Amino acid sequence: SGAAIGFSAGFMNPFAVGIAQGIAELPTFSGMGLRIALFLVLWVITSLYIMRYALMVKKDPTKSYVYNKLDPKHDLEKSEFVALEKRHILVGLTFLAGILTIAFGVIEYGWYIQEIGAIFMITGVIAGFVYGYGPSKVADLFVAGAKDMVFAALIVGVARSIVIVMEDGMIIDTIVNFLAGTVEGLPGALAAVAMYAIQIIINFIIPSGSGQAAATMPIMVPLADAVGITRQTAVMAYQLGAGFMDSIMLTSGVLMAQLSIAKIPYNKWVRYLGPLMIIWLLIGVVFLVFAYYTNYGPF
């Protein structure tokens, strides 16, 4: 849930906002004020939802969606609460420094996937040393983590194959063009919400954020101009439509990888996330209507 909010409402998301604004000929990461407000609202509501679930499970572990019915007390008996120590705080500060470095690099130097990935790796290694591990222990933990990612990588490949079939079959362009045509003639605020709905539908076909931006924004930008919607609002419709559903759809390689690593059955995940997903989608509608009536953009 936390990762979904960070991506869907990220006010400096280079994979969604950055690419979409570039296609829409808007300054990179412009209009940040409303996106920060969106992020804070989603963050607070999602945190409350998670805390409510955690308190419910703490009170009655059998209410957990992944409760082990064969050995109900197994996890509870072996769980140990770790006291907060100085080294834990230092690791947290190291992680924060890594995130701030990425934010600075993205804004000032235009860092992208390779640079961001490198900073995350460096941050992880430094965090290991800060925690008190030696080079051998850090290397062993890195290898163990990489081993857990092998199955996840296979899942990503399978999910990606669905998209490749649709691309090579010339199916995606036809669908995008048809859906975009449904927006024409709709009144302003309703047109903004319709763009949002279209991006949600297309997200099932093109789960890649950057790929969806490249496929849809060249059509949505002139369409937004034609129906009287600001380009910044069109970018927000794309950002939310391309982000929320990544947390629940089967074609998302990232989601499938996360669930496989965490060993969470997909049906259990849908039961947990379903109510929260509805809340997210409704919040998206509210913000898009607000963006339309406040003439959101361009800076």
Q: What is the DSSP string of 261-278?
A: HHT--HHHHHHHHHHHHH
Residue 70 lies in a domain: yes
Residue 277 lies in a domain: yes
What contacts 224, CB < 8 A, 6 or more positions away? 195, 230, 231, 233, 234
175-223 pLDDT tens trace: 767 777 777 778 778 999 999 998 888 888 777 777 788 778 888 888 8
| Helix, strand, coil % over all residues of the chain, rounded to 5 | 75, 0, 25
Residue 121 lies in a domain: no
Asked whether 159 and 253 are in contact (CB, 8 A), the reply is: yes
pLDDT at 295: 92
On average, the pLDDT of the chain sits at: 82
Asked whether 299 and 30 are in contact (CB, 8 A), the reply is: yes
Cis previous bond, 298, omega within 30: yes
Residue 91 lies in a domain: no
The beta strand positions in 199-290, using DSSP E, are none
**What's the structural domain count of the chain?**
1
72-84 pLDDT tens trace: 555 544 555 677 8
Q: How far is CA 178 from CA 172, 181, 200, 206, 241, in A?
A: 10, 5, 14, 15, 17
Residue 8 lies in a domain: yes
pLDDT at 29: 81
What contacts 260, CB < 8 A, 6 or more positions away? 151, 152, 155
Residue 101 lies in a domain: no
Asked whether 209 and 16 are in contact (CB, 8 A), the reply is: yes
3-61 pLDDT tens trace: 778 877 877 777 778 888 888 888 878 888 899 999 999 999 999 999 999 999 888 88
Q: State which residues form the domain around 170.
A: 2-83+145-293
Residue 113 lies in a domain: no
Asked whether 295 and 230 are in contact (CB, 8 A), the reply is: yes
What contacts 15, CB < 8 A, 6 or more positions away? 7, 113, 209, 210
Residue 139 lies in a domain: no
